[in-house]
Each structure stands twice: as structure tokens, then as C-alpha cells.
Amino acid sequence: MNELRQLARKLLADKTVGVVIGYEEGQGAVTRPSFATSPEQAEKLVFDARCVQNLASYLSPRRSTVRSLGKPAVVVKACDAKALAGLIREAQVKREDVVVISVACGGVLADPRSGKALSEAMVADRCRDCDGAHTSLADHKVGQAKAPAFGSPKVDARLAELQAMTAPQRFAFFKSVFSECTRCNVCREVCPMCFCARCMADKSEPQWIESSPHLRGNFAWHMLRAMHLAGRCVGCNECERACPAGIPLSLITRKMQKVVSERFGYSPSDDPNVPAPTGAFRLDDAQEFIR
Amino acid sequence: MSRIGVFVCHCGENIARTVDTAAVAQECGKLPGVIHSVDYKYMCSDPGQLMVKQAIAEHKLTGVVVAACSPHMHEKTFRRATAGAGLNPFLCEMANVREHCSWIHESRTAATEKAIDATRMIVEKVKRNAPLSPIHIPVTRRALVIGGGIAGIQAALDIADGGREVVLVEKEPSIGGHMSQLSETFPTLDCSQCILTPRMVEAFQHPRIKLYTYSEVESVDGYIGNFKVTIRKKARSVDEANCNGCGACQAVCPNKKIPSEFDAGLGKRSAIYVPFPQAVPNIPVIDRERCSYFRAKAKGSTKVVCGKCAEACGKGAVHFDQQDTLVTEDVGAIVVATGYRLYDIGKDQDSELLKGYGEYGYGTVPDVIDGMQFERLASASGPTAGKILRPSDGKEPTSVVFLQCIGSRDPSKGIEYCSKICCMYVAKHTMLYKHKVHHGQATVFYMDIRAAGKGYDEFTRRAIEEDGARYVRGRVSRLYRDGEVIKILGFDTLSGEPIEMDADMVVLATAMRPQAGMAELAQKLSVSYDKHGFINEAHPKLRPVETNTAGVFVAGACQSPRDIPDSVAMASATASKILGLLSNEQLEREPTVARVDESTCSACFHCERVCAYGAVEHKDIRDRSGNLVRVVASVNKGVCQGCGTCLATCPSKSLELDGFTDAQIHAAIMAF
């Protein structure tokens, strides 16, 4: 923790950056995003298993307030680094415009509000297959990287169950979960890869997606969100964590990740130079579906 | 308020047989915004078109829907008619009630209903059509020809004779291509070099042809009428301006045992060399891989090794320190004429598709050669001065066996296509052999004899009937060396008898393949190619020398196996296309291209990355005092082909295709 504060202090003192985006103590047991703009403020930075948020989201050009604070340094976990790489890949952030502080993370809590310690039962699902290594994007590495060892992600078992269902059964399942959606759009707001100035879901002429929380519009929204994130979603699972209706969105994002991996040989990467399939023109793409 | 006219065509009986066209016209007449709806026997006929024109004037139409055949057939016709009546042509659309409806359905009721649906959808679309005007783009009135074989030379000469400048790029040190290696040509048996070299010299001396030999196309930017081509002039190590081609350098070069590419490995050349005596230009090049000077340097030696050629040169033209240089040429059109190479049957294959022919012992059994090597043996300029002798011992072969279809027409070996020229050149080889070795016997193993062409069948008949070539229908399963001779095991499928025979020499008629590196070149040019690497034409029948990229044309064996007459005909066809293209100061393009909504573009540039044509550019948005506010994507209308890939990938839906906007498509879908 001291190492992190010291580094932040130095970066702010010598004006390398205008803001350090990290975590600080929040209300109750949780931590919250922190924006330290002076060496003194660096003292409040913390990092532990409660720091679940993906701070790369704050680098999106949508966050104009953060942008106005000057050049940012951002604290990233291995999972967040993939989102940062995504933003660089899709020209939203220039690599040289951000200082990357990679923190060693041994996994984070699924629910930091619980106040429980990190354990096999309490760990966030995405941490289960994380190698915990420092990202190659790191300008500064804080702490010794270690791989969390918590078994395989539970979402895969749930996906296998869904896969075993008949199509009408699966449809009924998604109908029941999507009927809970209130279209609050928090999944979109929290997503680091949803950076469009105007979301196509808000386009009204023509309106492709009904905006009222009606099952038909809800289906359209979640399916389109899945398609828009195909090959772009980094699996940080912020959407599912933030969803007030408890919709298991990782079932969709994880499935899409698997499909993209099988079809295009692409998995979320922290290397911004690896082209993502939606933004690449390849002559050797599989095209056996064209008859 | 829209005032749409609907015109339903019977297409004689083609549509009316299955679709109740009168009912379609009547139903569509009731649609909101449709104020005129009629049916007629042939809408595309003069009276039919006149109906459209008159209706536009009489009813002050704001849109025209023709329910007839595919827009591929007659969209142009009806848009012209619409324009003729003073309405913007892009306010006219076609509903396809023939290919999509009457031709594929049997039930008259259902087909009529579908025709009404299809027409209604287009009516709703046309209500949202906007007038579009053609895009005008300037034209650089000169052309690039890639490849200096007979196809490239012919194309360059025809374009230059037509009055336009040509840049001709050849990767070898001399132009001439494979044709310069041939001895005689079918079906006339005239000497290949005698008919080719005048063309080579003419191309070299033509005031409007700029020749780059030993050069390759590095990159191509731009679009039809406005290509920017970067050409890599490889270091020749000889100053082209000073060299007078005296040959003194070659005479003193100590490395004289290098297999000559021109002689298909049968002859030898020096490290500094002119590929063949009639080379154009007659300027040597140093093979840096084989030259002692460069090899010593590559090994890190600081001593000057050899350098005899530089000493011998009276002009001081040998420059060891010459570097590759890049030159840029602006052209308006491009011809790809990169030609072919032969299937390297025995050696390692460059493609997983190709399996090779281990059973024929090429490269391991002496005196098993390929067709090009036989050409060199038969050629007066070849390693044996035109005497047909066995490469192994220099003896005159009294029995030569020719095997056809080696590599070609054999999907299991990787090439399913017919190499086309082999039947003819094998017949030619048997004749050349008979003419030079009178007591010799030629035997040909063939699958079919394909001799379609003017004078071609007569030619093969002559080989068999006058020159006594023995044709055996069947394939050879194995051949091996047995003492002095090559044992051949095969099967005559006409008599059903196995064949075992001896030969002094075996010639394999190996398949034509496109040149190496075609995929890379095609990608530079954004043209499509097949799995073998042949360039795809835009339409196999109606646009045989165009590619799917406007302004890029294709001639000769890089498109598919071609003989000399075919290649020359294609070359002249490209020249005619290009002269037509370059006859205009400006080009007119269809305005159905993509457009960026700059206010919502989030500048992720997925569109740029997926665009196969390189049509997406970055555009700076500045405020009134000129400060950069942000950067957005922008479509170059001259390059865009209107494919719509960018629209599909745009996350914020900030791209629209004019003529096919979201509002139009949405309205059409909702009308169903």
C-alpha cells in the first residue's frame, strides 16, 4: 500500500500526471474510485481484495470531467488492463497519454459489501481463471504478481447447463431473466468498452430498439449489447456486478467470448496491437456459412 | 407528401404466368402515397418506358417503383427513363417480382401476395429516397502495367499507342517473360523470340512507355483514376545510365557455374549476368546471393574480395554500393499481368494444397525434366544450341515419353483445374523432337486431348499423323531408372492393357500456377483471388478483364491458365478498357457510397480497419479559431465501393449508405 502511495505521490509531485485514478475507502466496508490530484491526496489510496471496480472505464472519452484533470495515471488489475488495451486498440486512448500502474492482485471479492475475507467461496468468478500476472502495458508494477488459485469459473458450469437445455427451455430462461430488466442502462454506463458518444440504442430515426422496459425491447437491447461487445468484451464483469436487477449478464458475455474464441481465435488480450475480430479485415475468416 | 407511381411488368409471360399483375397494380394503387399504379406487358420496351415518363409529368410523381425483374437487369434502364422525365434517377427503384417471385413459385395466389408485399416494401423505401447526384473524380491519365511478359508488353504497347503514358514494371532484370524462353510456338511453329523480341524493343524504345526492370510494386494507394504506386527498384549494382552492355564484366566474372534461371537450370551463367542475349534492357545485374564480393561482405569480411567486374568495366558502371530505391508514380489505371510459374512437382511444396509427384522422380531420376526444360533443349539459344540431348550424359534420346496433366486435373494432388496449354505444347514438343531426331519415337500419355482453338486440333492431328507421335490414353503409375534407361509402368485405358516401356528421357507437362506472392500483390491492389492465387475477374463472361476493384484490370496467365493468343487478346482488351477510362478528364461514380455522421462518430476507426478498399480516412474537426476539437472518420467517395461493411461494424451506427439508409431499410422492413 505504501509503495502505491509513494509512487502516486511522486507522479503527482513531479507533475508527470495530473490525476491518479485509484481506490479509496468508501462508506461502510467498500472501497470506491478515487481521483487524487495532489501529492497529499495520494495518501488516501488503498488497494486490496475489495477493489472490484474497473478503473479503465474512467479513461473513456465519455468521462470528460476526468479528462479535464490532466494526464491520468491509472491503477489496473490484470483484468482492467485488457479493457485499457481495448480502449487503446479502438483509438479512444493514446498509449502515451496514460501512465499505467499495475497492481498485484490475488483476486477480488464477488461482493465487497459482505465484509468477508477473500476465500474460495467469496472470490469474484472472473478471478478463477486469471493468471494474475502484471500486464505488459505496465509503466510501474506494484507488488509481487501471484496467480489466484480458486478453481474454474462457475459460469462455465452454468453455461453447460444452458447448453444442455432445448431451445424453447433456453428461451424461457432468458425470458424470465430479461423480464426483470428495468432498462436503467447501468450495464452500459459501467462498461469500459461502451464509449460511444451516442449509443445506437438511443437512436430514434429509425428506432431499432424499443426503449421502454418491455420484454421485446429488453431482448433487443441485451442481444444487441452482446453483438456490440462480441470480440470486444474483456470479461471484467462490471455489468453483472452493477446490475440492480441481478441479471446474470456474464452468461451472455462469457458465451460470446467462447464463440469468438472458437470462430476467430481471439481472446481478450492486454496487447493493444492484437486486432479484435470486429475491427479487422481478414481474408481467411471462416465462411462455410455462405452457401 | 409522396406521389409514387407503381409500374408492374408482365415480362411477357415470365411474371404474368405466376403473378396476377393486374391485382398487384390494383392493390398497390391503394397504398398511401401511391397515386398512379398500372401494369403492362413489357415495361422495359419503349412504350413501357414512355408510360413511366408520361406518368412522371402528368402526375407530378416524386418517386417511381417498377415491379419487374432484378435491378441487375433493368435498374439503369428505368433510372435513365426517370431522369429523362426530369426526376432524379435515384428516386426510381425496382421491386424484384421475377427472380425472387414468379420464377421460383408455383402457387399463383401466394406469388401474387408476395409480389404485393415486395412492391409495398419498395414503395415505403422510395418514399424515403433522397435525390443523389453522381460523384465526379479527377483522373490521372496514365497507366501502370505490372509484369513485362507478352501480356504486359502488349497491354503497354496498346495503351501507349493509344496516346497515354504507361509505367511498365518487371521484377526480372529483363522484360520478355516466359515467352522469351520458348523455342517455337503452337500452332504455327514460328520462333518465339523472333516474334517477341521486336515487341520488347518497341516497348523499350516507346516514348510513352517508362520501363522499370528488376523492380517490384511495393505499395498501392488511392483509387480508380488516382492511384499512387510505390515501386521498389531493386539494387542492380550496375548503373543503368552508364552501362553500354559490352559484356566485359560477365567475361571476367569467376563464378560461371550458376544454374541459369532462363535455361531452366540446364545452362550456366555468371554472378553478374544478362539473363539472355536479347535481354531488354541489355544491362547486367549482380546476383548478390552468388557474387563473391557480396558473399564475403555478408560474412563480415572487411577485405575487398574479387571486384573483377568493376575493374573490367570501362564505363565505371559497376556500383557495389547501390541500394534499393523507392519511386512513386501516379496512375489512373492498373493492369495486372504477372503471368505464371510451373508446378514444382518433386520438390518441397509451398502450399499445403499441393502434394507433389514423388512417383515421377523429378529431381531424383536423371533425365526426367519438365516442359520448360524441354523448351530450352529445343531452343537455338538454349544450353545445347538447339540439339535435343539428355541432360545426364549428353546422348541423343531415341525414345522420349511425355506425360500430360502433371499436377493439373487432379484434385487429390491439389489442382483441379485444366492447365489448358499442355495438350498443345506437348504436341509441339513431339514435333520439335521428331524434326530434330528423325529416328526418335515420341510417346505421349494423356487423359484427354484438349485442342479447342483455331488450328489447334489440326496441329495435334499433324503431330500424330505426320510426325508419328504415339498417343496412349492413360496415366503412368511409376517410373524409375534402370541402367541407361528409364522404366515406365503405365496403363492404356483404351485397350485395357498394362504398359511397360523404356525411355531415354521423360518430359512432364506440369501445370501452370500463378506466380508466387500473388496473395500479397492482390491484397496491395484490393482485388480478389482464388485459392490457387489466380486473380478473379469481375464477371466470368461479361467483365473478363476487369477485377472487382474499379480501375484494376487483369491480363494473361495470372487470371487463369492462358496461352499466348489468349494472353495477347486479354492484354489488348485491358488496353481498350483503359483507353476508354482515360479518355475522360473526370470519372463519374455511382453515389451509393457510405457517409459518416460526424456528430455521433466516436472515432474507434473500426470502419477504417474493416474497409477492404482503404476508403476511410481521419478527418480533423476544428472550431472557428482553428483549434482541433476531435478527429472523426470520413469516407473518401472516390474510393468507397458501397459494400456496407463499415456500416455493419460501426458500434454507434454513425455510418449510412446513401440510397440504402437505415430509415429506408427500416421502412421497407416495417412495410412487410
Residues A164 and A264 in one domain: yes
Per residue in B599-650, pLDDT (tens digit) is: 999 999 999 999 988 899 999 999 999 999 889 999 998 888 899 999 999 9
Range of the domain at A231: 154-279
Close Cβ partners of B467 (under 8 Å, ≥ 6 residues apart)? B430, B431, B434, B435, B442
Q: How many CB atoms lie within 10 A of CB B274?
A: 24
What is the distance in angstroms between the Cα of A197 and the nearest Cα belonging to chain B?
A: 6
* Yes or no, beta carbons of A208 and B666 under 8 Å apart: yes
Per residue in B481-525, pLDDT (tens digit) is: 998 999 999 999 999 999 999 999 999 999 999 999 999 999 999
Pull the grid cell for residue B350. Answer: 509451398
| pLDDT, position A291 | 67
Mean pLDDT over A13-18 rounds to 95
Nearest-Cα residue of chain A relative to residue B527: A283
Q: Is the pLDDT at B9 greater than 80, yes or no?
A: yes
Percent of chain A with pLDDT over 90: 73
Q: How many CB atoms lie within 10 A of CB A164?
A: 9
Give the separation between CA B130 and CA B555, rounded to whole angstroms: 40
Pull the grid cell for residue A289. Answer: 456459412
Find cell 455462405 and name the residue. Answer: A290
Per residue in B561-576, pLDDT (tens digit) is: 999 999 999 999 999 9
A91, A198, A199 ranked by CB distance to B605: nearest: A91
Find cell 558502371 and name the residue. Answer: B317
- With contacts defined as CB-CB under 8 Å, which chain B residues touch A233? none
Residue ending a domain, among A93, A121, A142, is A142
**Fold of the B590-670 domain:** Alpha-Beta Plaits (3.30.70)
Pull the grid cell for residue B96. Answer: 424484384
| pLDDT, position A61 | 86
φ, ψ for residue B273, nearest 5 deg: -155, 155
Give the separation between CA B460 and CA B511, rounded to whole angstroms: 19
**Local structure of residue B229 (DSSP, 8 states):** E
Residues A129 and A256 in one domain: no
**Side-chain-facing half-sphere of A177: CA atoms under 13 Å:** 16
Helix, strand, coil percentages (3-state) for chain A, rounded to 5, are 40, 10, 50
* Yes or no, beta carbons of A206 and B651 under 8 Å apart: no
| pLDDT, position B346 | 67
In order of B391, B413, B481, B506, the CA distances from B370 in angstroms are: 12, 17, 17, 8
Residues A236 and A132 in one domain: no
pLDDT band per the 50, 70, 90 thresholds, residue B417: very high
In order of A105, A148, A155, A251, the CA distances from A110 in angstroms are: 14, 14, 13, 16
Please indicate, yes or no, if residue A148 is contained in any of the structural domains.
Answer: no
What is the distance in angstroms between the Cα of A220 and the nearest Cα belonging to chain B?
A: 15
Cβ–Cβ under 8 Å, residues B668 and B121: yes
Residues A96 and A199 in one domain: no
Strands A72-76 and A19-25: parallel
What is the distance in angstroms between the Cα of A4 and the nearest Cα belonging to chain B?
A: 32
Give the separation between CA B151 and CA B573, rounded to whole angstroms: 11
**Local structure of residue A181 (DSSP, 8 states):** -
Alpha helices in B290-390 (DSSP H): 292-298, 308-312, 371-378
Q: Is the pLDDT at A28 greater than 90, yes or no?
A: no
| pLDDT, position B347 | 60
Going by C-alpha positions, the residue among B537, B528, B533 that lies closest to residue B515 is B533
A91, A206, A279 ranked by CB distance to B649: nearest: A279
* Yes or no, beta carbons of B609 and A195 under 8 Å apart: no
Give the separation between CA B397 and CA B419, rounded to whole angstroms: 27
* Yes or no, beta carbons of A281 and B610 under 8 Å apart: yes
**Fold of the B142-234+327-339+515-581 domain:** FAD/NAD(P)-binding domain (3.50.50)
What is the distance in angstroms between the Cα of B601 and the nearest Cα belonging to chain A?
A: 7
Cβ–Cβ under 8 Å, residues B330 and B227: yes
Give the separation between CA A56 and CA A58, rounded to whole angstroms: 5
Going from N- to C-terminal start, the domains of chain B cover 4-127, 142-234+327-339+515-581, 340-513, 590-670
**Number of domains within chain A:** 2
What is the distance in angstroms between the Cα of B522 and the nearest Cα belonging to chain A?
A: 11
Q: How many CB atoms lie within 10 A of CB B169?
A: 27
* Yes or no, beta carbons of B652 and A208 under 8 Å apart: no
Percent of chain B with pLDDT over 90: 87
- With contacts defined as CB-CB under 8 Å, which chain B residues touch A61? 602
* Yes or no, beta carbons of A197 and B667 under 8 Å apart: no
| pLDDT, position A145 | 85
- With contacts defined as CB-CB under 8 Å, which chain B residues touch A203? 653, 662
Residues A89 and A48 in one domain: yes
- For residues B629-663, one letter each, b for 16 or more C-beta atoms within 10 angstroms of the residue's C-beta and e for the rest, the string is eeebbbbbbbbbbbbbbbbebbbbbbbbbbbbbbe
**Local structure of residue B410 (DSSP, 8 states):** B
| pLDDT, position B308 | 93
B602, B612, B649 ranked by CB distance to A196: nearest: B602
Percent of chain A with pLDDT over 70: 99
CB contact, 8 Å: A226 with chain B? no
- With contacts defined as CB-CB under 8 Å, which chain B residues touch A198? 599-600, 652, 654
* Yes or no, beta carbons of B612 and A281 under 8 Å apart: yes
Averaged confidence pLDDT in chain B: 94
Q: Is the pLDDT at A73 greater than 70, yes or no?
A: yes
Q: Which of B609, B616, B618 to mutate to test the interface with A (most CBs of A within 10 A)?
A: B609
* Yes or no, beta carbons of A90 and B653 under 8 Å apart: no
Close Cβ partners of A87 (under 8 Å, ≥ 6 residues apart)? A56, A59, A60, A93, A192, A193, A195
Strands B226-233 and B215-223: antiparallel
Cβ–Cβ under 8 Å, residues B616 and B607: yes
Residue ending a domain, among A89, A118, A142, is A142
Going by C-alpha positions, the residue among B507, B513, B344 that lies closest to residue B415 is B513
Give the separation between CA A107 and CA A144, rounded to whole angstroms: 13
- B28, exposed or middle or buried, with CB in 10 Å at 0-12, 13-18, 19+? buried
**Residue ranges of chain B whose CB lies within 8 Å of a chain A CB:** 519, 523, 599-606, 609-612, 645, 649, 651-654, 662-663, 666-667
Mean pLDDT over B214-236 rounds to 94
CATH superfamily, domain B340-513, is FAD/NAD(P)-binding domain (3.50.50.60)
SS3 B317: coil
Please indicate, yes or no, if residue A290 is contained in any of the structural domains.
Answer: no
Going by C-alpha positions, the residue among B139, B148, B141, B147 that lies closest to residue B164 is B141
Query: How many cross-chain Cβ pairs, A to B, lie less than 8 Å apart?
Result: 59
Nearest-Cα residue of chain B relative to residue A94: B604
- Per the model's pLDDT, the better-predicted residue between A84 and A148 turns out to be A84
pLDDT band per the 50, 70, 90 thresholds, residue B125: very high
Number of H helices, E strands in chain A: 9, 6
- The full length of chain B comes to 672
Residues A160 and A37 in one domain: no
A197, A200, A275 ranked by CB distance to B609: nearest: A275
* Yes or no, beta carbons of A279 and B606 under 8 Å apart: yes
B649, B652, B663 ranked by CB distance to A197: nearest: B652
Cβ–Cβ under 8 Å, residues B336 and B223: no
* Yes or no, beta carbons of B662 and A206 under 8 Å apart: yes
Residues A270 and A178 in one domain: yes
Per residue in B49-80, pLDDT (tens digit) is: 999 999 999 999 999 999 999 998 999 999 99
Give the separation between CA B208 and CA B206, rounded to whole angstroms: 5
**Local structure of residue B539 (DSSP, 8 states):** B
What is the distance in angstroms between the Cα of B478 and the nearest Cα belonging to chain A?
A: 37
- With contacts defined as CB-CB under 8 Å, which chain B residues touch A275? 609
pLDDT band per the 50, 70, 90 thresholds, residue B413: confident
Please indicate, yes or no, if residue A20 is contained in any of the structural domains.
Answer: yes
pLDDT band per the 50, 70, 90 thresholds, residue B458: very high
Give the separation between CA B318 and CA B249, rounded to whole angstroms: 9
B519, B601, B651 ranked by CB distance to A228: nearest: B651
Residues A137 and A9 in one domain: yes
Find cell 434502364 and name the residue. Answer: B77
Beta-bridge mates of residue B340: B514
What is the distance in angstroms between the Cα of B604 and the nearest Cα belonging to chain A?
A: 5
Q: How many CB atoms lie within 10 A of CB A262?
A: 10
What is the distance in angstroms between the Cα of B408 and the nearest Cα belonging to chain A?
A: 24
Pull the grid cell for residue B221. Answer: 494507394
Please indicate, yes or no, if residue A172 is contained in any of the structural domains.
Answer: yes
Residues A158 and A129 in one domain: no
Going by C-alpha positions, the residue among A256, A228, A253 that lies closest to residue A239 is A253
The helix or strand, by DSSP H or E, that contains position B450, with its residue range, turns out to be none
- Fold agreement (B142-234+327-339+515-581, B340-513): yes
* Yes or no, beta carbons of A200 and B610 under 8 Å apart: no
- With contacts defined as CB-CB under 8 Å, which chain A residues touch B611? 281
CB contact, 8 Å: A195 with chain B? yes
* Yes or no, beta carbons of A280 and B609 under 8 Å apart: yes
Give the separation between CA A84 and CA A100, rounded to whole angstroms: 9
Mean pLDDT over A85-112 rounds to 94
CB contact, 8 Å: A284 with chain B? no
Close Cβ partners of B216 (under 8 Å, ≥ 6 residues apart)? B169, B171, B231, B232, B234
Beta-bridge mates of residue A23: A33, A46
Please indicate, yes or no, if residue A149 is contained in any of the structural domains.
Answer: no
Residues A107 and A190 in one domain: no
- With contacts defined as CB-CB under 8 Å, which chain B residues touch A280? 609-610
First to last CA, chain A: 59
DSSP of A101-137: EEE-----BS-GGG-PPP-TTTB-GGGGG---PPPTT
Going by C-alpha positions, the residue among A13, A17, A80 that lies closest to residue A43 is A13
Going by C-alpha positions, the residue among A75, A145, A164, A136 that lies closest to residue A105 is A145
Residues A101 and A229 in one domain: no
| pLDDT, position A29 | 85
B600, B662, B666 ranked by CB distance to A198: nearest: B600
Give the separation between CA B500 and CA B237, rounded to whole angstroms: 53
Q: Is the pLDDT at B105 greater than 90, yes or no?
A: yes
- The full length of chain A comes to 291
Q: Which of B536, B604, B617 to mutate to test the interface with A (most CBs of A within 10 A)?
A: B604
Q: Is the pLDDT at A280 greater than 90, yes or no?
A: no
Beta-bridge mates of residue B334: B144, B552
Find cell 508488353 and name the residue. Answer: B153
| pLDDT, position A211 | 86
Q: How many CB atoms lie within 10 A of CB A84?
A: 27
Close Cβ partners of B203 (under 8 Å, ≥ 6 residues apart)? B148, B153, B156, B157, B160, B168, B175, B209, B211, B280
CB contact, 8 Å: A90 with chain B? yes
- With contacts defined as CB-CB under 8 Å, which chain A residues touch B610? 278-281
The arrangement of secondary structure in B4-127, i.e. its CATH architecture, is 3-Layer(aba) Sandwich (3.40)
Residues A37 and A138 in one domain: yes
